[in-house]
Amino acid sequence: MQTITTMQAVYQSLEHVMDPEIPVLNVLELGMITDVKVDIEGVHIKMIPTFAACPAVDIIKENIKNAVERDLQMPAFVSVDKDVNWNSNRLTAEAKAKLRDYGIAPPGRHEGDVNMDMLVKVNCPHCGSENTYLRSPFGSTLCRALHFCRQCGMMFEQFKPLS
């Protein structure tokens, strides 16, 4: 019974750990948490970055550790899960809606293969128009591409699809 309550508390705590680059999304919505175990030593959490070379991984690990230790008053051990690779299908529906509201086009769902069309054919998160074009496959971070909407004239980023 104690473990169930503690597991619920861990996940409640993780809901408040936001991505430092997209602060409207938490690590659960991003699909970054791969395993949680609670034992006599404390809470053991495995996480994965959204991009292999993500520069924020150490900050996210530290934020997870600090939040869980503060909220549960027990030691937390956070490690990168080397057995699981993140892909954009791990984003929750809530995450995709929040991305759109934040002005970032969410990635489309894929069946394991990401093709160029998924990077080129992107709806504008501001007006919903399909009349957009890829300005650059490189945005402000490694996981984003830069687009322009011919309909509303807005530049916007897309969270890149990744398999």
The pLDDT assigned to 1 comes to 45
The pLDDT assigned to 20 comes to 93
| Residue pLDDT, tens place only, 9-24 | 999 999 999 999 899 9
| Residue pLDDT, tens place only, 36-80 | 999 999 999 999 998 877 889 999 999 999 999 999 999 999 999
d(CA 132, CA 32): 30
**127, pLDDT greater than 90:** yes
Q: Which residue has the higher pLDDT, 52 or 147?
A: 147
Tell me if 98 is assigned to some domain.
no
CB 49 within 8 A of CB 162: no
Number of Cβ within a 10 Å radius of residue 116? 9
| Residue pLDDT, tens place only, 94-122 | 999 999 999 999 998 888 788 788 888 99
Confidence band for 5, pLDDT divided at 50, 70 and 90: low
Q: Which two tokens stand for residue 129?
A: 């128009």
70 and 12 inside one domain: yes
Confidence band for 162, pLDDT divided at 50, 70 and 90: confident
Tell me if 85 is assigned to some domain.
no
Tell me if 112 is assigned to some domain.
yes
114 and 75 inside one domain: no
Tell me if 149 is assigned to some domain.
yes
45 and 111 inside one domain: no
**What's the structural domain count of the chain?**
2
The pLDDT assigned to 114 comes to 80
Domain assignment of residue 30, given as a range: 2-80
Distance, first Cα to last Cα, the chain? 38
Q: Which residues of 84-110 are buried (b: 16+ CB within 10 A; e: fewer)?
A: eebbbebbeeebbebbbeeebbbbbee
The pLDDT assigned to 110 comes to 86
The mean pLDDT of 81-92, rounded to a whole number, is 95
Q: Which two tokens stand for residue 79?
A: 């490690």
